[in-house]
Amino acid sequence: MVMTPSTKMFLRTAANVLNRRAFSTSRVTCAQQMTVRDALNQALDEEMERDEGVFIMGEEVAQYDGAYKVSRGLWKKYGDKRVIDTPITEIGFAGICTGAAFAGLKPVCEFMTFNFSMQAIDHIINSAAKTYYMSAGRISVPIVFRGPNGAAAGVGAQHSQCFGAWFAHCPGLKVISPYNSEDCKGLLKAAIRDPDPVVFLENELLYGNQYPMSDEALSKDFVLPIGKAKIERPGNHITLVAHSKAVELALEAANELAGQGIECEVINLRSLRPLDTQTIEQSVVKTNHLVTVEQGWPTCGIGSEISARIMESEAFYHLDSPIVRVTGMDLPMPYTKSLEVYALPRAEDVVTAVKKVLGARSK
Amino acid sequence: MLNNCARTLGRQANKYGRLYGTGNDVVSRMIPDFVDMSMNTISSFFATSKNNYATEASFETKPYKVHKLDTTPSTSVTCTRDEALLLYRKMQTIRRMETSAGNLYKEKIIRGFCHLYSGQEAVAVGMSGAMRPHDMVITAYRAHGWTYIMGIDPLGVLAELTGRVSGCSRGKGGSMHMYSKNFFGGNGIVGAQVPLGAGLAFAQKYNGNDGVCIALYGDGASNQGQAFEAYNMAKLWDLPCIFVCENNGYGMGTSNQRSSASTAYYTRGDYIPGIWVDGMDVLAVREATRYAIDYCKSGKGPLVMETFTYRYSGHSMSDPGTSYRTRDEIQEVRQTRDPITSFKDRMLSSQLATAEELKKLDNEIKAQVDEATKKAKADREIGLDELPADIYSQSLEPTIRGTTPWNGMPHKHVGVSS
Ligand SMILES: Cc1ncc(C[n+]2csc(CCOP(=O)(O)OP(=O)(O)O)c2C)c(N)n1
Ligand SMILES: [Mg+2]
């Protein structure tokens, strides 16, 4: 460590003064409950109603109502022209959607799961992400690539993995990894309205979960800003940063730790690119400790990126101990039930990490 | 359709030996389980005895359709009693195994996906009747039947489905990822197995043996771009690859009419010759496969074969399979085209076997699958130490990172061999 404890302390106090700002916690009213699936469906429906240029294309999205029923009812409502079943040809329809976006339409390109987006990754990166730049701003690509991402349950190695870090790596893309129903609705609407290519990473295991929807979130005008994290739970002792289903994990751990007198500040990233470094830094300045939580693999992961950014920032001087990443294990997903559990981070891993990190301070 | 004639009433031996007298357990001894598809092996099990059945019969298959071929496989096929019994046994074992898998899924012992092969048995079984031991196979996730055909016993399949140690991938692979000698999966990515299959054929040719690769994919998968890329290179380089499109009418909830601009899958290799075969007729499939293997091994390059078949269950167990097709349609196929029932009828009407014999065989298969099911349920899972096993055949990092910096685990080598 370059800094002595006393300089660190000094800088930290100064920064604390500068950064004491209001949290962007959302109102939790006696709001209506809505599943993530319905929130996504509502977002699609509203945006299709709002803009004739919006259409949905993908496997089983129309007549079957979506493999996970996210597009339920939309084919009936909007018809063949705007809700389009494709053959199983990801690179083909991702290319067609991207081409349509070149021409100014607003495709929502559904991958049945993001595992299959690997078939199409060339168009996502080489066609969608780079064209605006290569054309010097002549051709924008207002497309959304969406579908379930991340570990599912009992489906084995090829169908259980997180691509958050993969896409977040690529300039030209905006990458969203929402957690609950409000996130999904507000951010999917934002993604569809956004003039740039957006990769929207849903989570199959969250589709059926219900979360409160504020009155505001129920409105047709509800749009959340891309690139802004949300503080799900304020706390003073340590910052937990997570995205997608790992937010649930972080909240669970925070709950447990609260019973032991440790107050975690839980940040729901919402977007992976842009990454809301500011919110994380501000929190770290306050809590002096950081643990990142994600289900994806550790190497070059979202936690790695966050750690690097903190290292590069002023917030580094506010850390009382090293940042720790809680991640999926560094291996393909096994089908074996008892092992699948261990391949993914559990709340107790987060608890352990928090205690270790905080323990380091008292030394 | 059942234009069959009993050729030789069995009071004499044919070259495969003859069957069985009245011994109680002769049936079970007669066919070595999962050892070898070769009839020669079986024949050694037979002693001469008196019997009352045909030792061989011939049948007419539905006409094949061909694309860019001057000849067709023979529509007149012969089948010995021993061959017939083996084909029947294999189809019935797959059917039983799949029924059992379906039940295990409903009991929530099988998790995730579970794609049943019921209805399509004649494809794998018919092809196996023509394959040689050094031929290779690769297929998609609807792999239980093929896994069994390629040498894994029902326990190896069912225990893989339940995720237990006796599974052919020790429970780590799951329903879509089973392998055995010369069987390369089990692929969960639709279409990915097609170029992989061409690669296996490339290796066969490279190694200079006359082996072929059978690469199977569905009507849905047939539209993936990589299938066409594989076609092109296979033809350019004359790879001994048989591209088999198992046309079961649907890719998930999408009928082939809605997915494919041409549903004449056997012609879709364009410059690659093709054969259409009734995939519900095990003998026709066998005959067409013989023809295809002969063609490929003679250095003429690849073939495309369409096997016209049907899937009885939903796409996977979570799909009831009735929203995009009618129950009547399924019922109709079961009643008029079922590969097992129709073959059984043929065996009976040509006197290749008696109803009692088949009944007995059915019971034996049921007992065997039930036993395997019981074991697959009771079996243990692999230990936690195997979670980081076999990520690499040679790991350069002794420790595999865990969920935190402190709970890494040693990489381990287990290495199932077939
Ligand atoms: C690249 C890819 N896209 C989509 C899927 C999801 N999926 C799994 S099976 C399937 C249907 C395939 O149908 P078909 O090829 O006809 O095979 P069948 O299921 O009828 O055996 C789909 C869309 C996948 N596994 N991989
Ligand atoms: Mg199909």
Residue nearest to ligand 1 atom 20, measured at CA? B251
Residues A244 and A131 in one domain: no
Q: Supply the mean pLDDT for chain A.
A: 93
Per-residue pLDDT, A13: 46
Residues A213 and A144 in one domain: yes
Which residue among A186, A218, A250 closes a domain? Answer: A218
Question: How are beta strands A271-273 and A174-176 bridged, if at all?
Answer: antiparallel
B119 lines ligand 1 (CB under 6 A): no
Per-residue pLDDT, B416: 80
- Backbone CA torsion sign across B143, B147, B149, B155: negative
Q: Is position A197 within any domain?
A: yes
Among candidate residues A159, A243, A289, A318, the one labeled active-site is: A159
Per-residue pLDDT, A208: 98
Q: Please state, in angstroms and rounded to a whole number, the distance separating the CA atoms of residues B390 and B177.
A: 15
- Per cent of chain B over pLDDT 90 is 86
Tokens 């690469």, residue? Answer: B215
Longest dimension (CA), chain A: 67
pLDDT in tens, B325-365: 999 999 999 999 999 999 999 999 999 999 999 999 999 99
Q: Is the pLDDT of residue B3 over 50?
A: no
Per-residue pLDDT, B53: 84
Q: Please state, in angstroms and rounded to a whole number, the distance separating the CA atoms of residues B294 and B50.
A: 37
Which residue type sits at A81? K
Q: Is the pLDDT of residue B63 over 60?
A: yes
Contact: B175, A156; criterion CB under 8 Å: yes
Give me the architecture of the B56-382 domain, per CATH.
3-Layer(aba) Sandwich (3.40)
pLDDT in tens, A281-311: 999 999 999 999 999 999 999 999 999 999 9
Q: Is position A15 within any domain?
A: no
With contacts defined as CB-CB under 8 Å, which chain B residues touch A158? Answer: 176-177, 187-189
Q: Which atom of ligand 1 is nearest to the CA of B217?
A: 15
Per-residue pLDDT, B418: 59
Per-residue pLDDT, B76: 97
- Here the tokens at position A147 are 């579908």
User: Is B415 near chain A, with CB under 8 Å?
Assistant: no
Residues A321 and A198 in one domain: no
Q: Is position A363 within any domain?
A: no
CB contact at 8 A, A302 and A164 = yes
Active site residue A237: no
Residues A42 and A159 in one domain: yes
Find the angle CA(B242)-CA(B233)-CA(B123) to the nearest 5 degrees. Answer: 15
- Residue B24 Cα to chain centre, angstroms: 30
Could you tell me the CATH number of the domain that includes residue A95? 3.40.50.970
CB contact at 8 A, A68 and B319 = no
Nearest to B174 by CA among B184, B185, B182: B185
CB contact at 8 A, B45 and B29 = yes
Per-residue pLDDT band at B161 (split at 50, 70, 90): very high
Sheet holding A264-268, edge to edge: A230-233, A264-268, A238-242, A290-293, A324-326
CB contact at 8 A, A267 and A315 = no
Helix (H), strand (E) at residue A91: helix A90-102
pLDDT in tens, A313-353: 999 999 999 999 999 999 999 999 999 999 999 999 999 99
Helix axes A277-287, A302-312, angle to 10 degrees: 70
Mean pLDDT of A106-110: 98
Could you tell me the CATH number of the domain that includes residue A283? 3.40.50.920
Q: Please state, in angstroms and rounded to a whole number, the distance separating the CA atoms of residues A99 and A102.
A: 5
> Tell me, what DSSP letter sits at residue B184?
-
Residues A135 and A111 in one domain: yes
Higher per-residue confidence, B277 vs B53: B277
Per-residue pLDDT band at B51 (split at 50, 70, 90): low
CB contact at 8 A, A104 and A141 = no
Residues A196 and A234 in one domain: no
Q: Is the pLDDT of residue A131 over 60?
A: yes
- Here the tokens at position B208 are 């200079």
pLDDT in tens, A44-75: 999 999 999 999 999 999 999 999 999 999 99
Residues A68 and A97 in one domain: yes
Nearest to A329 among B188, B251, B401 (CB): B401
Nearest to A317 by CA among A14, A8, A20, A17: A8
CB contact at 8 A, A150 and A244 = yes
Q: Is the pLDDT of residue B35 over 50?
A: no
- Per cent of chain A over pLDDT 90 is 90
> Tell me, what DSSP letter sits at residue B34?
T
How large is the ipTM? 0.90
**Partners of residue B410 on adjacent β-strands:** B399
Sheet holding B136-138, edge to edge: B65-67, B274-278, B303-308, B241-247, B213-218, B136-138
Per-residue pLDDT band at A185 (split at 50, 70, 90): very high
Per-residue pLDDT, A30: 63
Q: Please state, in angstroms and rounded to a whole number, the distance separating the CA atoms of residues A174 and A272.
A: 8
Q: Is the pLDDT of residue B408 over 50?
A: yes
Residues A93 and A166 in one domain: yes
Q: Is the pLDDT of residue A24 over 50?
A: no
> Tell me, what DSSP letter sits at residue B318?
T
3-state secondary structure of B251: strand
Interface probe for A, chosen from B177, B403, B406, B409 (most Cβ of A below 10 Å), is B403
- The answer to which of B25-39, B92-106, B122-136 has the lowest mean pLDDT is B25-39
Mean pLDDT of B29-54: 41
Per-residue pLDDT, A360: 57
Which residue among A163, A194, A218 closes a domain? Answer: A218
Q: Please state, in angstroms and rounded to a whole number, the distance separating the CA atoms of residues A170 and A175.
A: 9
pLDDT in tens, B13-32: 333 322 222 222 222 223 33
CB contact at 8 A, A151 and A204 = no
Mean pLDDT of A198-223: 98
pLDDT in tens, B229-265: 999 999 999 999 999 999 999 999 999 999 999 999 9
The beta strands (E) that lie in B303-407 are given as: 303-308, 399-400
Is the pTM here over 0.95, yes or no?
A: no
Q: Is the pLDDT of residue A139 over 60?
A: yes
Q: Please state, in angstroms and rounded to a whole number, the distance separating the CA atoms of residues B224 and A119.
A: 9
Pinpoint the residues of chain B covered by CATH 3.40.50.970.
Answer: 56-382
Burial class (CB in 10 A: 0-12, 13-18, 19+), B77: buried
Nearest to A155 among B112, B190, B226 (CB): B112
Per-residue pLDDT band at B415 (split at 50, 70, 90): confident
Q: Is the pLDDT of residue A94 over 60?
A: yes
Residue A266 has phi, psi (to 5 degrees) of -100, 120
Mean pLDDT of B131-149: 98
Per-residue pLDDT, A31: 74
The beta strands (E) that lie in B73-209 are given as: 76-80, 136-138
- Here the tokens at position A29 are 């009213």
Q: Is the pLDDT of residue B38 over 70?
A: no
Q: Please state, in angstroms and rounded to a whole number, the distance separating the CA atoms of residues A44 and B249.
A: 31
Contact: A154, B391; criterion CB under 8 Å: no
Dihedral of the CA atoms B289, B293, B295, B299 (nearest 10)?
Answer: 160
Per-residue pLDDT band at B52 (split at 50, 70, 90): confident
Contact: A338, B384; criterion CB under 8 Å: yes
Active site residue A265: no
Higher per-residue confidence, B25 vs B296: B296
Q: Please state, in angstroms and rounded to a whole number, the distance separating the CA atoms of residues A124 and A114.
A: 12
Structural domain boundaries enclosing A264: 230-357
Tokens 């084995």, residue? Answer: A156
A 67-96 residues with CB below 8 A of B?
67, 85, 87-89, 91-92
| Number of domains within chain A | 2
